[in-house]
Amino acid sequence: MSILVKNIFLNNKKRDVYIDDNSFTEISENISVEAEFKIDAKNKAILPSFFNSHTHAAMSLLKGFADDFSLNDWLAKVWPVEQKFKEKGVYVGTKLAVLEMIKSGTTFFNDMYWFPEQVAKAAEELGVRACVASAFVDGMPFPRLPKDSELVKFAYGPHAIYTVSKENLLKFKDLVEEDGRLIHIHLSETRKEVDDSLKNFNLRPVEYLDSFNFLDKNVIAAHGVWFDDNEINILTRTKPTIVYNPVSNAKLASGVLRFRDLVKSGVRVLLGTDGNASNNNLDMFEEMKFAALLQKVCNLSPCLLPASQVYSMATQKAAEFFGVNAGRIEEGRLADFILVDLKNINLFPCYDLISNVVYSARGDCVTHTVCNGRILMSDRKVDGEEKILEEVREFIEKIF
Amino acid sequence: MSILVKNIFLNNKKRDVYIDDNSFTEISENISVEAEFKIDAKNKAILPSFFNSHTHAAMSLLKGFADDFSLNDWLAKVWPVEQKFKEKGVYVGTKLAVLEMIKSGTTFFNDMYWFPEQVAKAAEELGVRACVASAFVDGMPFPRLPKDSELVKFAYGPHAIYTVSKENLLKFKDLVEEDGRLIHIHLSETRKEVDDSLKNFNLRPVEYLDSFNFLDKNVIAAHGVWFDDNEINILTRTKPTIVYNPVSNAKLASGVLRFRDLVKSGVRVLLGTDGNASNNNLDMFEEMKFAALLQKVCNLSPCLLPASQVYSMATQKAAEFFGVNAGRIEEGRLADFILVDLKNINLFPCYDLISNVVYSARGDCVTHTVCNGRILMSDRKVDGEEKILEEVREFIEKIF
């Protein structure tokens, strides 16, 4: 596939952008070349598409199903229904999630769920990238991960320290020694998790994991709300990546990540939406805004986590971590990008596009979404959209 | 004007809705009547449109102009530009704001700004309701408010206790004695305001206003972040209305309103976006979500401020306070309403429409906006939209 985007704003300058196969081949003032697809991008700007660094895509089936509950009541309501998902539910639920991601400009998601092959199938069919962790809790058979593809990489997904024993966590370390994959885990999400860890192990969650050398640069840990100073020191030394999920952490009242202290200590922090049952959307625009504002108000510090910083967490910083040569619009990079409508009222007037993107806009300002050089959304239309909603409707009717 | 809406979901039931002149005339299962406008509302639901209870509409001209600054640096950047607005800027800026409100389902705004006639003109031309407070700081001539119209009521807008003297505040009380209008003021927005009040008056802001009997049911006070227990007791006794502006308070790092304590004490709390320069949008969907989540996480209380409660603050509770016979979809009420697209991915699947509206959706789920029986947006198109953007573009070019 080749795409020629004419008259697009890139860093405030008008450019033409030529994509051949899956990469940006040429970016310059005027390109005259034949292309299979030509987009006249008047009044549009080009931006890298987003990376959602922690989610459970299939839980989109349960959007709005259990709101305003405590975590325990939420789990009691959600888990029995999740049991009914099986392969089919994970497949259609993930397609629903990916559709929502495409419509809001996200082309990469870091997932943790059951039936990872179904998650991968949904991602590949719709054309986005994913890192798919196979969720694991004690008592399950150990996963044998499928082979990676161009778009999808698989990872290990031991759920959390309160659902996976030390012995099993160590087995995952052995597997990673062999195959070098990532480990995706929940860590220090709630105060209860910390209290239980202190009770059971006499150590806080990070201290516990460090006691058997679990943490290293291959670990990506979601939430990280309740780290104390010593835990942050351990993270600085051991170099796992932490995913900030501000909306989910607020909605479930889990707490607020110590962003400033983590970043000051050199810990890499990325951004994720968590699943749709605790957010209740997968819109990285909203997540960026919420991420910045929650830090500002909870620290009474209006300059903390400015737009440019939270934007890079959702794009290039995540691309670097996941080893995807995207996250910037540059010749030679993978063509993962969005076009945004500068006439969308949330992008107008435009003193600073990134400020508008982070603080004013939401997913509906995206007109086109492209991943790996393939157009996934054009003028807000995604192929097969109606059919996905229909499949979801049918599936939900069956399980309730 | 008469409108017949066919096959619309109202409280989960399929209904026809007939609007004659400016009110809901009939709501029932099957209405056969001739109407000037007929809307086939398959896969749509009808909801009351929103009330934005505190904003400075014209500041939409400065969306994204000064982000990630402290309040003082922000003021230093914003104020000199605002001086250049004059009548023309307030008029075009307010039109831009009203356009954004219509596109996100809001048909009433409680404004405070200079040149109130221009604010009113913009609101009336675009067909929304407003309560327009004439902003006042010491040194200005006292306002003579224009006559109210069907859509627009005027109010007094003494800016705050640090910009308006006690003598002048008392003059506004005298005016209200005569004409019964509302007083719209900023109150206890920042810790600095409290510190300065203690230094200058030896009283906290609410205590100070109470010392000369300023507070009563005609006062609507924005922000109210820093109330202490005694101030909340005074508010309970004197009965002003408080407006919660969670996004602005978070973005400027002002602090978090004591929602639970206020409501427990019987204080009426409404919801507003503040101006576009400190939000940076006027989307009441986002404001509702942020309002609920900020309370949950800051109180570590996931059940606090559930969807239904924050939704009523943005609709019927505000309608009651401002004396507008709207905020609910019922025969005899004013026809101020929105239609939302149940196929919008943020409203699908739909276990609980209000949960989806508050926690998942944003303004782009609104397909039709109607105020006072007049269709302001139809299939997301607003008459004269392009022209407003053009006027704003021209005005901004002139002042920069």
Q: Give yes or no for residue A72 having a pLDDT over 90.
A: no
Q: Report which residue type is found at A371.
A: C
Q: What is the band of A313 on the pLDDT scale with cuts at 50, 70, 90?
A: very high
| pLDDT on residue A143 | 93
Q: What is the band of B15 on the pLDDT scale with cuts at 50, 70, 90?
A: very high
Contact B293 A247 (CB under 8 A): yes
Among A283, A144, A207, smallest CA distance to B289 is for A283
Considering only alpha carbons, which residue of chain B is nearest residue A309?
B68
From the list A252, A279, A302, the residue facing B302 with the nearest CB is A252
Residue B64 contacts A, CB cutoff 8 Å? yes
Q: Find residue A48's DSSP bridge partners.
A: A337
| pLDDT on residue B126 | 98
Considering only alpha carbons, which residue of chain A is nearest residue B294?
A250
Q: Give yes or no for residue A1 having a pLDDT over 90.
A: no
Among A292, A259, A286, smallest CA distance to A274 is for A286
Long-range contacts of B346-349 (CB under 8 A, 24+ apart): B346/A100, B346/A281, B346/A283, B347/B45, B348/A63, B348/A389, B348/A392, B349/A61, B349/A63, B349/A64, B349/A392, B349/A393, B349/A396
Contact B343 A389 (CB under 8 A): yes
CA distance A307 to A296: 12
Residue contacts between A and B (CB atoms, under 8 Å) = 183
CA distance B75 to B82: 10
Q: Which residues of A touch B351 (CB under 8 A)?
A: 62-65
Mutation site for B-interface testing, chosen from A73, A274, A297, A304 by largest number of B Cβ within 10 Å? A297
Provide the percentage of residues in chain A whose pLDDT is more than 90.
98
Contact A74 B302 (CB under 8 A): yes
Q: Which residues of A touch B356 (CB under 8 A)?
A: 63-64, 280
Q: Give yes or no for residue B1 having a pLDDT over 90.
A: no
Strand ordering across the sheet containing B241-244: B50-55, B106-113, B129-136, B152-158, B183-187, B219-223, B241-244, B268-271
Among A126, A153, A94, A129, smallest CA distance to A326 is for A129
Q: Give yes or no for residue A70 having a pLDDT over 90.
A: no
CA distance B95 to B385: 10
CA distance A274 to A55: 4
Where in A65-182 does DSSP place strands (E)? Answer: 106-113, 129-136, 152-158
| pLDDT on residue B72 | 81
Nearest Cα of chain B lies from the Cα of A25 at a distance, in angstroms, of 33
Q: Give yes or no for residue B75 having a pLDDT over 90.
A: no
Mutation site for A-interface testing, chosen from B297, B301, B364, B390 by largest number of A Cβ within 10 Å? B297
Average pLDDT over residues B72-88: 92
| pLDDT on residue A398 | 95
Q: Which residues of A touch B382 (CB under 8 A)?
A: none
Q: Which of residues 332-391 of B touch A (CB under 8 A)?
A: 343, 345-346, 348-352, 355-356, 359-362, 364, 389
Residues 6+ apart with CB under 8 A from A264: none
Mean pLDDT of chain B: 97
* Fold of domain A2-48+333-385: Urease, subunit C; domain 1 (2.30.40)
Residue A12 contacts B, CB cutoff 8 Å? no
Q: Which residues of B touch A292 (CB under 8 A)?
A: 251
Contact B253 A74 (CB under 8 A): no
Q: Give yes or no for residue A284 having a pLDDT over 90.
A: yes
**Token output for A352:** 């600073």
Q: Which residues of A touch B287 (CB under 8 A)?
A: none
CA distance B207 to A148: 66
Among A321, A251, A262, A234, smallest CA distance to A53 is for A321
From the list A65, A252, A298, the residue facing B351 with the nearest CB is A65
Instruction: Kindly list the domain boundaries of chain A, sorted by start residue.
Output: 2-48+333-385, 50-322
Average pLDDT over residues A154-179: 97
Residue A245 contacts B, CB cutoff 8 Å? no
From the list A290, A307, A364, the residue facing B67 with the nearest CB is A307
Considering only alpha carbons, which residue of chain B is nearest residue A301?
B253
Distance of CA A323 to the CA centre of its chain: 14
Residue A294 contacts B, CB cutoff 8 Å? yes
Nearest Cα of chain B lies from the Cα of A279 at a distance, in angstroms, of 7
Q: What is the pTM of this model?
A: 0.98
Contact A389 B249 (CB under 8 A): no
Contact B301 A253 (CB under 8 A): yes
**Token output for B336:** 């101020």
Contact A69 B303 (CB under 8 A): yes
Q: Give yes or no for residue A203 having a pLDDT over 90.
A: yes
B22 backbone dihedrals φ, ψ, rounded to 5°: -110, 15
| pLDDT on residue B212 | 98
From the list B191, B298, B307, the residue facing A68 with the nearest CB is B307
Distance of CA A355 to the CA centre of its chain: 21
pLDDT tens digit sequence for B293-346: 999 999 999 999 999 999 999 999 999 999 999 999 999 999 999 999 999 999
Contact A296 B65 (CB under 8 A): no
Residue B280 contacts A, CB cutoff 8 Å? yes
Residue B123 contacts A, CB cutoff 8 Å? no
Q: Which residues of B touch A392 (CB under 8 A)?
A: 348-349
Q: Give yes or no for residue A45 having a pLDDT over 90.
A: yes
Average pLDDT over residues A85-105: 98
Mean pLDDT of chain A: 97
Residue A76 contacts B, CB cutoff 8 Å? no
User: Hey, what CATH class is B50-322 in?
Assistant: alpha beta
Contact B280 A359 (CB under 8 A): yes
| pLDDT on residue A347 | 98
